[in-house]
Amino acid sequence: VAAISAGADFSLFLMADASVRSCGYNSAGQLGNGTLINQSTPQQILTGVSAISAGAGHSLFLKTDRTVWAAGYNAEGTIGDGTRVDKPSPVQVLSGVTAISAGGLHSVFLKTDGTVWATGWNYSSQLGDGTQTGRTTPAPMFFESRMKEVSAGGGHSLFLKGNGSVWATGDNQYGQLGDGTTTSRTTPVQVFTGVKTVSAGRFHSLFVKADGSAWAVGANAYGPLGNG
């Protein structure tokens, strides 16, 4: 195995030969095997893949040719194929992409030119376009270039710029954006600096700084922030 991604009740595995295997809950076709049947052991579903991302009920696959393929829950336009119909088999949704992230009901893509595109549910403004209007196809949401990394959470999104600054948008009821407030944001605001990687959870966010230290913010009812 070369990489792994855990969804709500299913798992994706990227193998060293660039094939993908999946197992677990499959009510919306998120396993991408062409069925709605749960699988208790990993089954191969795709080849020629360089990155994977499992969301709440959908899956994203980045192929070596920079095209994005998606499967699973799509009632909110989550996978970005222009419909609201679930897809049990992967369909192509975008090209020219360098990174992918599947959130709760939305998806975020980083293109080769450093721009960020997003699709899906936008009730909390997690798409960062200044509205609460959902989308069924990916559209550019963060118009600055030089983005390095993206991470889609439950109802918020994180963006890491090449200079190490972190920007966040969307739901902030638990302070998960990290801007010192509990005010949700409709467009990205800067929240942190000196960061090398980010990860957005359902209601919290994690950051690894350039010095190797880990930082966390947001909901902590079950101790996900790890601060005791």
CB 69 within 8 A of CB 61: yes
The Cα 143–Cα 167 span in angstroms is 12
What are the pLDDT digits (tens) for 77-131? 999 999 999 999 999 999 999 999 999 999 999 999 989 999 999 999 999 999 9
The pLDDT value given to residue 143? 64
The mean of the pLDDT values for the chain is 96
Strands (E) across the chain are located at: 3-6, 10-14, 20-24, 39-46, 49-54, 58-63, 68-72, 87-94, 97-102, 106-111, 116-120, 135-142, 147-152, 156-161, 166-170, 185-192, 195-200, 204-209, 214-218
What pLDDT score does 146 carry? 81
CA distance linking residue 27 with residue 29, whole number of Å:
6
Q: Are strands 204-209 and 39-46 parallel, antiparallel or unpaired?
A: unpaired
Q: What is the pLDDT of residue 187?
A: 93
The model's pTM: 0.96
Low-confidence ranges of the chain (pLDDT < 70): 142-145
Cα–Cα separations (whole angstroms), residue 137 to 12, 25, 71, 92, 108: 23, 25, 14, 11, 11
> Are the C-beta atoms of residues 83 and 98 closer than 8 Å to each other?
no
**Which DSSP symbol is given to 16?**
T
- Does residue 166 come out as left (phi exceeding 0), alpha (psi in the -120 to 50 range) or beta? beta
DSSP class per residue in 105-139: SEEEEEETTS-EEEEE--TT-TT-SSS---EEEEE
pLDDT tens digits, 117-138: 999 999 999 999 999 999 999 9
> At a CB cut-off of 8 Å and minimum separation 6, what does 5 contact?
11, 12, 14, 52, 53, 54, 102
